[in-house]
Amino acid sequence: MPDVGRRHGEPHRDKSSVESPCQLSAAPRPSHVSLGVERVVFAPIGYRAASHRSSVYNQHLYRSTPHAHQRVSTVNASRLTMPFMFLTSRQIHWVSAFLATIISAALSSTPGLAADELRPNILWIMSEDNSKHYLRHFDRHGAVAPNIEALAQHGVTFDRAFSCAPVCSVARTTLITSCYAPRIGTQFHRRSKMATMSNGVKMFPAYLRAAGYYTTNNSKEDYNAQKSGDVWNESSRNASWKNRPSDATPFFHVLTSTLSHESSLHFNATAMEQPTVTEPASVQLQPYFPDTKIFRYTRARYHDRIMAIDQVVGKVVAELQKAGELENTFIFYFGDHGGVLPRSKGYAYESGLHVPLVVRVPDKHKDMVDRKLASRTKGFVEFVDFGPTVLSLAGVDPPDGIDGDAFLGKDIDVAEVDARNEAFGYADRFDEKYDLVRTLRQGNFKYIRNFEPFLPDGLQNNYRYKMLAFEQWRQLHEAGELNEIQSQFFQKKPVEALYDLDFDPHEVHNLAGDPQYAEQRNAMRQRLTDRLKSMPDLSFIPEAVLFSEAMPNPVAFGQSNKSAIAGLIDTVNLALLPFAEAESKLKDALESDDPWTRYWAVVACSSFGKQASSLLPLVEKRLVDLEPLVVMRAVEFVAITSEEDPRPSLYRSFQRATNEPEALRMLNTAVLLNDFCDGRLPIDVEQIDFLFKPKPRSELIRRIDYLAR
Ligand SMILES: [Ca+2]
């Protein structure tokens, strides 16, 4: 029996866990809650060295590619650990870093060795919110960007680069930690609480810095995990590689340009009188967009922003050249995630995940890259791989406990990189909007599992809808003026989708129900499920519970609850069976002692929709569930499948929410009822009452403001 969700006093608790000094448990639910029941509490989690090791050694089970760390270190920290076997791993790490610094300093100060001269600089130029689709270098309908194209002429283009998450903080945390966010508790944008970096893993620039690199970030961080003090020499708007202590010090510098950020498309109707350089009539609109003046102008304006990014790239190259560093510096240009017309940022489609990536290879280090200049590869690379790649180029070993593998560097096997064929994607929360989606791309097939398919893509997300195009899209939907493909955005989603990107690059023709593709679908479904279970993916525990219990050590929390999470995934995956086969299993799950089994059982029922109407009496029992988040799920099912009014149950639940993410999750359901139930179930904000005072300008207030207008 899994530990997750077991209530106080129940038998079979793992004794070793109880004895652990590292107990994590939820604060008791306040006694004045109407049902008088304490929050269901996880069994305490024991975090021991043994489980640490097994998690580290097993973590590559869920990678598609052969484990390919290439050890090319000049400063091999792990080899330094042998005389220190009596130390803890944290102490070993500290000693290794200390020795590495000494060795590095000795090398750089010894005349004749000139070690640093042999080490390349690495510079990242990251543009905000742009998928590969807006650059001609990747897509014939994209903008012309001569400076980015010039980088590619002197380097390598990665035609299959993926950010893993379609939103800023989650993508950036994936990048800086080299770990998949749902494994380490950093998958929520915005975070309600910072996750702690687990198992001694640091954000990767710390390893460069320990090896003598000067590390700078200008300037956006937006990490969802706590940063240790040794990551950056400087991270600010003034941070520059030019400030390094000596010309001989190699540097790693990150520059984020916000010129293409979503906010650059938050213009008003008056601003549209300002002409764009790109001719609106010339742009190619995605087939899911209505062809309107606003959409054309928005896309044209976005092409202009991409051209501005290109200018930034040109300026950086010129500066390096002037300083005599160009031919000693690897330059990466890439987008931080997709964007940024509607249905891109915030959505786990290719438009949200597939980013442009080119790497300029400097003349002095051509021998480190076994590829022709101006070549392209279709080998899949993900944000988890970028950190190990920089470490590999710098000759620093990657740490254990990360998820990525280097794709460039001296001993990298080009054929292995070219054969990489799989990308994993995740979407969880976008400010105040929740929608759990996982994706797997293999070759040109894309599989999407919508775990909450009854939440339409078009569900209100205040920041998204600041864009005129978003608002107009919704208005046209409400006016009934969209065709079938354009309307998909406002309809319930399929439980699973399969797209053949060769023929359907915009992911609008779902093949998941086509018998011809059943084998492909089943294989990808199984592969994704295996990956989620083996991580394990923490998102099958509600954020409100992770908030209370997991954040001091999310990885250990996941390992302790691995089998329980697998059980929850099996429960929600009942939605993938024919209903007749799922029905009796759903009945059992709805009556489970474990609240999160009941939670996902109701979600599976809602995924079936009216097909599961026979289960209405059983689900209605959950309207008085001990766990308010299960009540919330039952409210959705009743709203979706019956004519009854479940709002009183939802209003009561608000008064039982004990933290912001729990209340916010409930407000997501409130918006679903308000906006997508044919006007039958408008929400009265006067009836929404919390036990705690929401923070001003918080996501809770955003939702309330939206519902009140
Ligand atoms: Ca961004």
Task: In whole angstroms, give the CA distance from residue 658 to residue 27.
Answer: 9
For 619, left (φ over 0), alpha (ψ -120 to 50), or beta? alpha
The pLDDT value given to residue 11:
32
The pLDDT value given to residue 687:
97
Residue range 111-133: average pLDDT? 80
43-266+310-427 homologous superfamily: Alkaline Phosphatase, subunit A (3.40.720.10)
Distance 298 CA to ligand 1 centre (A): 18
Distance 337 CA to ligand 1 centre (A): 6
| Residue whose entry in the numeric block shows the structure tokens 């012309």 | 144
Decide if 537 contacts 528 (C-beta within 8 A). no
659 pLDDT above the threshold of 80? yes
Distance 257 CA to ligand 1 centre (A): 10
Distance 145 CA to ligand 1 centre (A): 20
The residues, ordered by sequence, that sit 6+ positions from 9 with a Cβ below 8 Å of its Cβ are none
Task: In whole angstroms, give the CA distance from residue 168 to residue 174.
Answer: 10
Distance 170 CA to ligand 1 centre (A): 9
φ, ψ of residue 666 in degrees (nearest 5): -65, -35
Q: What is the DSSP letter of 680?
A: S
Look up residue 574 and give its two tokens.
């009942």
Residue 268, classified by CB atoms within 10 Å of its CB into exposed (0-12), middle (13-18) or buried (19+), is exposed
Task: In whole angstroms, give the CA distance from residue 391 to residue 122.
Answer: 10
Distance 261 CA to ligand 1 centre (A): 6
3-state helix/strand/coil string of 536-598: CCHHHCCHHHHHHHCCCCHHHHHHHCHHHHHHHHHHHHHHHCCHHHHHHHHHHHHCCCCHHHH
Residue 400, classified by CB atoms within 10 Å of its CB into exposed (0-12), middle (13-18) or buried (19+), is middle
Distance 457 CA to ligand 1 centre (A): 19
Distance 195 CA to ligand 1 centre (A): 20
Q: pLDDT tens digit string along 73-108?
A: 333 333 333 333 444 444 444 444 454 444 444 444
Distance 338 CA to ligand 1 centre (A): 8
Residue 121, classified by CB atoms within 10 Å of its CB into exposed (0-12), middle (13-18) or buried (19+), is buried
> Where are the domains positioned within the chain?
43-266+310-427, 543-551+566-707
- Longest pairwise C-alpha distance within the chain: 83
- 203 HSE (CA, 13 A, CB side): 23
The pLDDT value given to residue 117:
53
Do you find a cis peptide bond into 536, omega within 30 degrees of 0?
yes
Task: In whole angstroms, give the CA distance from residue 545 to residue 659.
Answer: 9
Do you find a cis peptide bond into 219, omega within 30 degrees of 0?
yes
Distance 247 CA to ligand 1 centre (A): 32
The pLDDT value given to residue 273:
97
Residue range 508-512: average pLDDT? 98
27 pLDDT above the threshold of 50? no
Distance 220 CA to ligand 1 centre (A): 9
Which residues in 59-76 are b (16+ Cβ under 10 Å) and which e?
A: bbebbbbeebbbebbbbb
The pLDDT value given to residue 115:
45
Dihedral of CA atoms 641, 642, 648, 649 in degrees, nearest 10, equals: -40
Distance 464 CA to ligand 1 centre (A): 13
Nearest CA to 573 out of 665, 496, 652 is that of 496
The pLDDT value given to residue 61:
37
The pLDDT value given to residue 545:
97
Which residues in 510-533 are b (16+ Cβ under 10 Å) and which e?
A: bbbeeeebeebbeebbebbbebbb
CA distances for 81 relative to 58, 101, 102, 105, 261, angstroms: 21, 15, 15, 19, 44
Distance 184 CA to ligand 1 centre (A): 20
Look up residue 15 and give its two tokens.
């004794």
Handedness of CA 468, 473, 475, 479 (dihedral sign): positive
The pLDDT value given to residue 392:
98
Task: In whole angstroms, give the CA distance from residue 142 to residue 304.
Answer: 11
Decide if 310 contacts 278 (C-beta within 8 A). no
Q: Which helix (H) or strand (E) holds 299?
A: helix 293-322
Distance 320 CA to ligand 1 centre (A): 25
Please give the angle made by the CA atoms of 296, 301 and 302, to the nearest 5 degrees: 100
Confidence grade of residue 112 (pLDDT, cut at 50, 70, 90): very low
The pLDDT value given to residue 199:
87
The pLDDT value given to residue 492:
98
Nearest CA to 7 out of 45, 46, 38 is that of 38
Q: What is the number of residues in the chain?
A: 709
Describe the strand order of the beta sheet including 188-189 as a list of residue ranges: 188-189, 422-430, 433-442, 445-450, 496-500
The pLDDT value given to residue 118:
81
Distance 426 CA to ligand 1 centre (A): 15
Amino acid at 184: I
The pLDDT value given to residue 272:
97
The strand ranges marked E within 300-405 are 329-335, 354-360, 375-377, 381-382
Distance 458 CA to ligand 1 centre (A): 20
3-state class (DSSP) for residue 390: helix
End-to-end, the C-alpha distance of the chain in Å comes to 47
Look up residue 245 and give its two tokens.
């202590």
Residue range 308-312: average pLDDT? 98
Distance 32 CA to ligand 1 centre (A): 42
503 pLDDT above the threshold of 90? yes
Question: In sequence order, what are the beta bridge partners of 177?
Answer: none
Distance 336 CA to ligand 1 centre (A): 5
The pLDDT value given to residue 245:
98
Task: In whole angstroms, give the CA distance from residue 67 to residue 398.
Answer: 12
Please give the full DSSP string across 191-241, using - where no structure is assigned: -SSPBPPPTT---THHHHHHTT-EEEEES----SBPPPTTS-SEESTT--G
| Residue whose entry in the numeric block shows the structure tokens 């899949």 | 380
The pLDDT value given to residue 258:
97
pLDDT: is 533 or 74 the higher one? 533
Distance 232 CA to ligand 1 centre (A): 20
Distance 273 CA to ligand 1 centre (A): 27
Distance 315 CA to ligand 1 centre (A): 21
Distance 394 CA to ligand 1 centre (A): 26
The pLDDT value given to residue 44:
32
Nearest CA to 196 out of 227, 234, 219 is that of 227
Residue range 190-213: average pLDDT? 96
φ, ψ of residue 439 in degrees (nearest 5): -135, 155
Task: In whole angstroms, give the CA distance from residue 632 to residue 668.
Answer: 10
456 pLDDT above the threshold of 90? yes
The pLDDT value given to residue 668:
98
Dihedral of CA atoms 503, 505, 509, 515 in degrees, nearest 10, equals: 50
Q: pLDDT tens digit string along 30-82?
A: 333 233 233 433 343 222 222 222 332 233 334 433 333 333 333 333 333 33
Q: pLDDT tens digit string along 673-704?
A: 999 999 999 999 999 999 999 999 999 999 99
Distance 167 CA to ligand 1 centre (A): 6
Distance 126 CA to ligand 1 centre (A): 9
Distance 146 CA to ligand 1 centre (A): 23
Q: pLDDT tens digit string along 460-476?
A: 999 999 999 999 999 99
Distance 311 CA to ligand 1 centre (A): 19
Task: State percent of the chain over pLDDT 90.
Answer: 83
Task: In whole angstroms, give the CA distance from residue 99 to residue 212.
Answer: 11
pLDDT: is 51 or 255 the higher one? 255
Residue 608, classified by CB atoms within 10 Å of its CB into exposed (0-12), middle (13-18) or buried (19+), is buried
Distance 129 CA to ligand 1 centre (A): 5
153 pLDDT above the threshold of 80? yes
Look up residue 609 and give its two tokens.
């929709």
Q: Which helix (H) or strand (E) holds 155?
A: strand 155-162
Nearest CA to 177 out of 355, 398, 410 is that of 398
Question: In sequence order, what are the beta bridge partners of 425?
Answer: 439
Task: In whole angstroms, give the CA distance from residue 336 to residue 222.
Answer: 11
3-state class (DSSP) for residue 8: coil
Residue range 552-565: average pLDDT? 98
Nearest CA to 240 out of 162, 325, 310 is that of 325
Average pLDDT, the chain: 87
Q: pLDDT tens digit string along 539-552?
A: 999 999 999 999 99
pTM: 0.86
Distance 307 CA to ligand 1 centre (A): 17
Q: Which of 58-67, 241-250, 285-294 has the lowest mean pLDDT?
A: 58-67
Chain CA centroid to CA 584, Å: 35
